[in-house]
């Protein structure tokens, strides 16, 4: 049996996956938002249902390749490809595989809502409001996973929410900024209330789906993470295809074509989202859903810093203050609880 790899270049996999997720999340939101407001391709905007569907196809392909590789190395040399495929198929479709249909449907709905939200809110507002999922996730973790959080962890969760809210407080001085003109033109098509409703519902679903996936993952140790990902993406294909591509946009897509409005920006958004989904799964496996949300909070800071370089965004005192609070909350949450000083702390065993 190969030992389970929990470090990369000496760093615990939990930290590596969290750091990567923070960077990925910042990049995803910026690219996804731009893909909705960029100049039209051949006078057409792409249909988000096609992007949600392709995201699942891509995730399924990546998870399948890794699961096949995993199964092959467990079965040892000399195994035929038909044996390999049938072993994997048995793992994917047997036992409690159906349980993944629930988070699959929830995530597909959440991914569609996320597109509605980023189409109607600017990237920063979306990202900050989306942090409400920190609270929904904590509440579902406590109720569904029977996890109890120490007072220190609750305090850090509240601090995190405060920090995120402080970043959001508008400052009076930026109102007449002439640099904002190009952004305002694209804002004309946005409907803030629609965006806010979409993001709020997405937060509730995020907490529920994330915690449900974590429960399935950690309840049974026989099925590997990659087989779980194959199951999740497989079951997601059905709602993504039937409810999204066929029922919601079917008429328009059959007229315009599946790939109408596509360019490299759209493909980049889809790829970032697929990779992000798999990173989320790694983080949930090696740490947990609450830790995942801290990674995405840090990504807010990354996207603000990138915005300063690329979009001439000016740093305000609120931003700096909020950032310090978010970073302190993250430190507080992840610092080890009081233990006898002789015990070494183990960051992977949260
Ligand atoms: O915003 P939140 O962190 O809840 O988003 C989770 C994202 O990760 C969703 O887009 C979901 O489709 C994806 N995911 C995934 N595979 C998993 C768990 C989550 O693709 N195993």
Enter the tokens of residue 270.
């889809």
Spacing, Cα 273 to ligand 1 middle (Å): 9
Q: Measured in angstroms, how far is the CA atom of residue 166 from the centroid of ligand 1?
A: 26
Closest C-alpha residue for ligand 1 atom 5: 206
Provide the token pair at 71: 């199964």
Q: Is 262 helix (H, G, I), strand (E, B) or coil?
A: coil
Helix axes 13-37, 289-310, angle to 10 degrees: 50
What ipTM was estimated for this complex?
Answer: 0.94
CA distances from 323 to 124, 125, 309 (A): 13, 15, 17
Determine if ligand 1 sits within 6 Å of the CB of residue 277: yes
Cα–ligand 1 centroid distance for 346 (angstroms): 26
Q: How far is it, in rounded angstroms, from Cα 275 to Cα 178?
A: 37
pLDDT less than 70: residues of the chain: 1-5, 168, 170-188, 311-313, 338-350
Q: Does the beta carbon of 230 sit less than 6 angstroms from any atom of ligand 1?
A: no
**Mutation pick for ligand 1 pocket among 20, 64, 107, 274 (CB with most ligand atoms within 8 Å):** 107
Q: What is the C-alpha to C-alpha distance for residues 113 and 320, in angstroms, rounded to an integer? A: 30
pTM across the whole model: 0.83
Burial (CB count <10 Å: 0-12, 13-18, 19+), residue 135: middle
pLDDT, one tens digit per residue, over 158-210 is 998 888 788 767 665 444 444 443 343 355 577 888 998 999 999 999 999 99
Segment 88-123, tens digit of pLDDT: 999 999 888 999 999 999 999 999 999 999 899 877
Residue-wise pLDDT for 19-31, tens only, equals 888 899 889 988 9
Burial zone of 231 (CB within 10 Å; 0-12 exposed, 13-18 middle, 19+ buried): buried
Q: How far is the CA of 292 from the centre of ligand 1 (A)?
A: 10
């Amino acid at each position: 049996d190969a030992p389970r790899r929990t470090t990369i270049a000496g760093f615990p996999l939990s930290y590596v996956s969290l750091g990567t997720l923070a960077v990925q999340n910042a990049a995803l939101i910026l690219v996804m938002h731009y893909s909705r407001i960029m100049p039209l391709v051949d006078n057409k905007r792409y249909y988000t249902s096609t992007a949600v569907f392709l995201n699942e196809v891509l995730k399924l392909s990546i998870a399948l390749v890794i699961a096949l590789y995993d199964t092959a190395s467990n079965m040892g040399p000399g195994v035929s490809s038909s044996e390999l495929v049938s072993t994997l198929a048995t793992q994917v479709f047997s036992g409690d595989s159906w349980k993944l249909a629930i988070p699959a449907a929830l995530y597909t709905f959440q991914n569609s809502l996320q597109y509605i939200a980023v189409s109607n809110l600017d990237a920063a507002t979306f990202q900050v409001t989306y942090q409400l999922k920190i609270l929904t996730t904590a509440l579902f973790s406590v109720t569904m996973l029977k996890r109890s959080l120490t007072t220190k962890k609750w305090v850090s969760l509240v601090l995190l929410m405060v920090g995120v809210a402080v970043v959001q407080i508008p400052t009076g001085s930026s109102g007449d900024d002439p640099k904002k003109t190009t952004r305002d033109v694209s804002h004309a098509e946005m409907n803030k209330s629609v965006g806010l409703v979409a993001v709020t519902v997405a937060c509730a679903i995020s907490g529920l789906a994330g915690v449900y996936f974590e429960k399935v993952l950690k309840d049974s140790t026989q099925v590997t993470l990659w087989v779980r990902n194959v199951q999740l993406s497989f079951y997601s294909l059905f709602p993504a295809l039937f409810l999204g591509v066929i029922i919601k946009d079917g008429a328009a897509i059959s007229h315009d074509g599946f790939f109408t409005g596509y360019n490299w920006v759209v493909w980049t958004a889809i790829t970032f989202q697929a990779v992000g989904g798999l990173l989320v799964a790694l983080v949930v496996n090696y740490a947990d859903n609450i830790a995942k949300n801290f990674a995405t909070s840090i990504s807010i800071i990354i996207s603000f810093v990138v915005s300063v370089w690329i979009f001439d965004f000016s740093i305000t005192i609120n931003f700096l203050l909020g950032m310090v609070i978010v970073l302190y909350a993250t430190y507080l949450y992840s610092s080890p609880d009081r233990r006898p000083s002789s015990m070494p702390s183990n960051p992977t065993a949260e």
